[in-house]
Amino acid sequence: MRPGKTGESTRMASSISLSIDSDLDKVAHIARAVRGVCSGLLSTDDADAVEISVVEAINNVIKHGYQGQPGQDVEVHVVLHKDQVVIDVIDHASPMRTELLDQASEERFAFDETNLDEVPEGGMGLALIQMNMDEVEYTSEGGENRLRMIKRVA
């Protein structure tokens, strides 16, 4: 992990950048670091929401983007504003199909709980991100993918 605190010139904003290589064992470190950075600004529930979203986003990059291949880069940029936290998860893997994110919602969990076959064992990550964050946007440009997740301060 390479923490690098940078003083941002933007008024009322401070930012921190972290990076790991594509190893699932390292996701917890970066998630705890992001949580720590946001903790002064967010309630415990909102910090929980940010933590799970960051974990799901990075897991998706490692498992699906890089297909489990080690030694690839995953960067996380966190910018704290007075009224919101903006988190970018950046990778250089094959881009995700944007409709996957657009279609992800709480509908994923509208299963019939009396029918065990319907209860999902996977494919929950993007839905959890959509449900836990206030805004989610995915862009892919010049080989760089960026998942931007925004949590507003309650």
Partner 1 sequence: MLTSELRNNVLVVHVGEKRVDASKAPLFKDEMTKCIESGQNQLVLDLSGVDFVDSSGLGAIVSCLKRLGPRGNLAIAGAKGAVSRLFTLTRMDKVFTLHDSVDAAVAQLSA
Residue of 9, 12, 38, 32 lying closest to 20 (CA atoms): 32
- What DSSP state is assigned to residue 64? I
- Give yes or no for residue 71 binding partner 1 (CB under 8 A): no
- Give yes or no for residue 116 binding partner 1 (CB under 8 A): yes
- Give yes or no for residue 21 binding partner 1 (CB under 8 A): no
Beta strand 144-152 with 4-6: parallel, antiparallel or unpaired?
A: unpaired
Other C-beta atoms closer than 10 Å to the C-beta of 146 total: 15
Q: Which residue lies nearer to partner 1 by CB, 108 or 148?
A: 108
Q: Which residue in the set 34, 42, 55, 104 belongs to the binding site for partner 1 (CB under 8 A)?
A: 55
Q: Which residue lies nearer to partner 1 by CB, 41 or 129?
A: 129
Q: What share of the chain is helix, strand, coil (3-state, %, to 5)?
A: 40, 30, 35
Q: Which residue in the set 12, 113, 141, 142 belongs to the binding site for partner 1 (CB under 8 A)?
A: 113
State the DSSP H helix or E strand holding residue 73, giving kind and residue range, or none if neither: strand 73-80
- Give yes or no for residue 121 binding partner 1 (CB under 8 A): yes
Q: Select from 7-15, 74-82, 115-123, 133-141 the region that touches partner 1 (CB under 8 A).
A: 115-123
- Give yes or no for residue 122 binding partner 1 (CB under 8 A): yes
Cβ neighbors of 57 (< 8 A, separation 6 or more) are: 89, 125, 129, 147, 149
Q: Which residue in the set 3, 28, 97, 98 belongs to the binding site for partner 1 (CB under 8 A)?
A: 28
Alpha carbon distance 125, 143 (integer Å): 23
- Which residues sit at the interface with partner 1, rule CB under 8 A? 24-25, 27-28, 31, 44-45, 48, 51-52, 55-56, 59, 62-63, 109-111, 113, 116-117, 119-122, 124-125, 128, 131-132
